[in-house]
Structure 1
């Protein structure tokens, strides 16, 4: 029973931390994506300190709470589609232990998210009547740049997880 209580308490703390970061990303004027990127560390930390089931509950709870209190904003949508769940997706993809395949699968996932975000933005502009400026070649250039940024983000997330494992995990005694 001690294990379940421990997982529930850690899950509650990590859910609160995730929601706090999502909330902060909606109210600060700058560095919104940086704060959202920090939320990507929560699920891997939960996987390391609890289990996959608790990590999934943290992601779902944070998503629902964010939708309830913040509404369907861009930052909340980014958390739900990309930053919140990516730690779990990264875990399953990296089990292949084949770097080219891993990079390919991660980019496929990222591009699916981009497509959903693009369709959502298109729907929003159609509903509101807002016309986005049309700049020649901007979409293909932005697409290529975003691929590079995503690879850098994935590497930074790996480094953040390694930092947690090497510098924090043993010192705080997260052992069950």
Structure 2
């Protein structure tokens, strides 16, 4: 690894952890803060490479378990952190309908795994909505999240990419 990649990785891990820590301070809109934290992985891919981004994800996830409540660290680890890497590989296909389908498949796999583990750890989740409504709402929220990440990445490319 080049010194430039190590330095960038350290900065991105630090920024990720700072933003993740904000979920402890600003308890309103945790998902928006997690969305911002998940943007550092795609930015790392843009500025460096997939190897550096993977190391940033791993380091950020490990550190998050020491400073965040377990539920937020798990949310970052199994979805928000890794999604930038998944998005990168899926969008290399460059066929929008297939990309959307693959992203939804990834999201649904993560959602099912999350619900399974939460129910096995916590028992009955006492969800007021029917399961089909939860999944339908999840699809819509996920597509909005994916669009938000795309907008943030586009903004970064437009304003900051030339600083490389």
- TM bin, normalised by shorter chain, reads over 0.9
* 2:75 paired residue among 58, 78, 101: 78
Residues 10 and 56, structure 2, Cα contact 8 Å, conserved in 1? yes
The structural deviation recorded for 1:28 is: 2.2
Q: After superposition, where does 1:21-170 map in structure 2 within 5 Å? A: 21-70=19-68, 73-126=70-123, 131-133=124-126, 135=128, 137-170=129-162
- Runs of 4 or more above 6 Å deviation: none
The TM-score with structure 1 as length reference comes to 0.87
Determine the C-alpha separation between the residues in 2 that align with 1:85 and 1:58: 10
The structural deviation recorded for 1:134 is: 5.4
The TM-score with structure 2 as length reference comes to 0.93
Residues 107 and 147, structure 1, Cα contact 8 Å, conserved in 2? yes
How many residue pairs match? The answer is: 164
Unaligned runs of 5+ in 1: none
Unaligned runs of 5+ in 2: none
Which segment is superposed worse, 161-170 or 24-33? 24-33
Residues 21 and 39, structure 1, Cα contact 8 Å, conserved in 2? yes
